[in-house]
Chain A
Amino acid sequence: EIVLTQSPGTLSLSPGERATLSCKASQSVSSNYLAWYQQKPGQAPRLLIHGASSRATGIPDRFSGSGSGTDFTLTISRLEPEDSAVYYCQQFFTSPWTFGQGTKVEIK
């Protein structure tokens, strides 16, 4: 099973600041099969990034993804208050598909 480890656990930043979220895989993951989701309290996850770096439909361009192999990054270039949420990475390259434990982004 591929274990995804996200860091930091919590990120507390001010509006307008840059957020950098890390996702490290225990084995190499094809970039085509690495996604990022945003989940707000009481809501379903929303797909932000697929293929490691492609924004999903309707996702603002302040969200970007990068990385390859075992190291992937989600960057929010200029935080908005509505970006307060938990962010999960997911690999669907190898069964069982797995999610990271999540990074909570708090807006000060």
Chain B
Amino acid sequence: QLQVQESGPGLVKPSETLSLTCTVSDGSISSTSYYWGWIRQPPGKGLEWIGSIYYSGSTYYNPSLKSRVTMSVDTSKNQFSLKVTSVTAADTAVYFCARGADYGSGSYDALNIWGQGTMVTVSS
């Protein structure tokens, strides 16, 4: 069963860049049948979709974060990554990576495989 696992620093200083990686195991990131996503959850709050990426590199970002977010794929490492620039305390959250199915022709499905999440705190 394919798994995804987030990794990265747990503490980031205000105004700096948050960088996380999601490693895909027991499966390949290089498939047109799937898309990959990042979601975050501030402590005690709900879920927020950050964006999605395909192995081809096509990206879709939440407009509320678009100016600060970059996602990328490294097929050689079977990983995809998230960068959020100019972070503030409001970016403190558990960050999840996940996978959903893409059926082609603009049809796709929900996020059905999730990582356990990684807590990122923005503080000096």
B interface residue count range (under 10 / 10 to 19 / 20 to 34 / 35 or more): 20 to 34
CB within 8 Å: A-B pair count: 54
Chain A residues closer than 8 Å to B100, beta-carbon distance: 92
Provide the bound-state CA to CA distance between A100 and B116, in Å.
Answer: 21
Nearest CB of A to B66, in Å? 9
Check: B47 CB closer than 8 A to any chain A CB. Answer: yes
The stretch of B9-17, B25-33, B79-87, B104-112 in contact with A is B104-112
Provide the bound-state CA to CA distance between A47 and B113, in Å.
Answer: 8
Chain A residues closer than 8 Å to B46, beta-carbon distance: 88, 99-102
Closest to B66 in A: A96
Chain B residues closer than 8 Å to A97, beta-carbon distance: 49, 52, 62
Known contacts A32-B107, A88-B47, A99-B49, A56 near B64 by CB under 8 Å: no
Known contacts A50-B110, A101-B46, A102-B46, A96 near B116 by CB under 8 Å: no
Provide the bound-state CA to CA distance between A100 and B49, in Å.
Answer: 11
Contact of B96 among A32, A44, A56, A100 (CB under 8 A): A44
Say whether chain A's binding surface is mostly helix, strand, loop, or mixed. Answer: loop
Contact of B114 among A32, A44, A57, A90 (CB under 8 A): A44
Q: List 16 A-B contacts (CB under 8 A).
A: A35-B111, A43-B116, A44-B96, A44-B114, A44-B116, A45-B47, A45-B96, A47-B110, A50-B112, A56-B112, A90-B47, A92-B49, A92-B108, A95-B60, A95-B62, A96-B63
